[in-house]
């Protein structure tokens, strides 16, 4: 299958309807693909009903659509089976689920290791757990280019560590984490590994079995699916050891005035009415993505990212956050222009039809590491083109003239 960025762009309704939009904020949210849009619309028009225990045809069709979505997610992740897939409201909800459920078994002195590159969603829940349970947070430092400093891994990973929670790829620098040595070291001391995959899944299928991790979280809206839905994948034996996080309908075995027993995973973690239509849309998006020519698409976005890095490097007063090359890195480029506030730069770019994001990107510890309050971030997807890079560069030069 050959790849055309223009044809791919046409599969995204919003982009097809706005040919003058240069959308470069894909690390924050990807656009909704046609496959997901059609799946959600079809679901709501033909078999919208609540799931579980409905004995009429419409409800049974909704059950089948919801479980089919679970299987589609499992296939995209190469999970051992669909029962390892838990639907959540997003990455944040998935990580909070683990922080509460896994955290219930931790006490004072137990350790959780994070990295300095984490999104707030993988920082704040563990700080809250520290306040509740007295756990110790160990922070893996960074190399000068913002990558995790794995040379210091053993220094910070002790036998008291129960969980290592790290990002698969930074939402600021695009640096991809080398998970194999982390997983090996964590398992050697008996610790589980949770990976924040929010920035990774939109760049191609993920093989959780090959990665060897125990738990993996991501959001639908970053993978060209609907908002309001995400996934926590976990090895079956890891999920079975976790208590439920929320209580209510759908996650029980038997309720009496005296006690409640709980369903097996994944139902144990899906209290109440789940995001049914959103899950159906996510499953359709991932099913469509599974079939895409990813080698060609990666080559396309790498060419765009390389050009962007080279042409930004010659702008006076520009500084990068993160690696300057594309080695083991996603097409996410963050930078600052000397003396210009990121928000002001983004507003000028918007007048050129360029959508990028400016600020701390929910990664203030990482910003502190780089000694800045925020940055401008351009993040690419396969539907981006040379025209998007042209518009971004022209807009930046205009910002430098007007704001400098």
Rounded to 5°, the CA angle 383-386-388 comes to: 70
**10 Å Cβ neighbour count for 103?**
25
- Of the candidates 33, 161, 346, 362, the residue annotated as catalytic is 362
In whole angstroms, give the CA distance from residue 23 to residue 378: 9
Closest by alpha carbon to 282, among 122, 93, 97, 89?
89
Is residue 346 part of the annotated active site? The answer reads: no
In whole angstroms, give the CA distance from residue 191 to residue 173: 27
In whole angstroms, give the CA distance from residue 43 to residue 278: 10
Q: Would residue 4 be called left, alpha or beta, if left means φ above 0 and alpha means ψ between -120 and 50 degrees?
A: beta
In whole angstroms, give the CA distance from residue 329 to residue 145: 12
The owner of tokens 């590159």 is: 117
In whole angstroms, give the CA distance from residue 207 to residue 185: 20
Q: Which residues are catalytic?
A: 362
């Amino acid at each position: 299958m050959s790849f055309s960025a223009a044809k791919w762009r046409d599969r995204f309704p919003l982009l097809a309807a706005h040919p003058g939009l240069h959308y470069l904020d894909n690390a924050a949210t990807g656009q909704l693909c046609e496959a997901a849009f059609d799946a959600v619309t079809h679901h709501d028009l033909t078999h919208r009903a609540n799931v579980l225990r409905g004995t009429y045809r419409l409800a049974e069709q909704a059950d089948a659509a919801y479980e089919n979505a679970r299987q589609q997610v499992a296939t995209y992740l190469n999970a051992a089976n669909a029962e390892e897939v838990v639907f959540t409201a997003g990455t944040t909800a998935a990580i909070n689920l683990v922080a509460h459920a896994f955290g219930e078994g931790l006490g004072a002195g137990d350790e959780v290791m994070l990295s300095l590159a984490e999104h707030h969603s993988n920082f704040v829940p563990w700080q809250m757990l520290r306040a509740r349970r007295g756990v110790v947070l160990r922070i893996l430092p960074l190399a000068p280019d913002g990558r995790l400093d794995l040379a210091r891994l053993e220094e910070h990973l002790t036998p008291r560590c129960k969980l290592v929670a790290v990002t698969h790829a930074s939402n600021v620098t695009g640096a991809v984490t080398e998970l194999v040595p982390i997983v090996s070291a964590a398992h050697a001391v008996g610790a589980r590994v949770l990976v924040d995959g929010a920035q990774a899944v939109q760049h191609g299928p993920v093989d959780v079995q090959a990665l060897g991790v125990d738990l993996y979280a991501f959001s639908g809206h970053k993978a060209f699916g609907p908002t309001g839905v995400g996934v926590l994948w976990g090895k079956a034996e890891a999920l079975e050891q976790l208590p439920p996080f929320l209580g209510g309908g759908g996650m029980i075995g038997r309720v009496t005035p005296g006690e409640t027993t709980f369903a097996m995973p994944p139902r144990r973690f899906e209290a109440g009415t789940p995001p049914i239509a959103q899950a159906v849309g996510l499953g359709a998006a991932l099913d469509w993505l599974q079939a895409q020519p990813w080698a060609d698409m990666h080559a396309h976005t790498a060419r765009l990212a390389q050009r962007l890095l080279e042409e930004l490097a010659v702008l006076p007063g520009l500084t990068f956050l993160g690696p300057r090359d594309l080695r083991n890195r996603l097409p996410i480029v963050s930078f600052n222009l000397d003396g210009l506030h990121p928000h002001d730069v983004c507003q000028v770019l918007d007048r050129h039809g360029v959508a990028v994001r400016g600020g701390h990107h929910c990664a203030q510890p990482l910003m502190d590491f780089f000694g800045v309050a925020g940055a401008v971030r351009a993040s690419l997807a396969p539907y981006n083109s040379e025209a998007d890079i042209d518009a971004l560069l022209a807009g930046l030069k205009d910002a430098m003239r007007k704001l400098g």
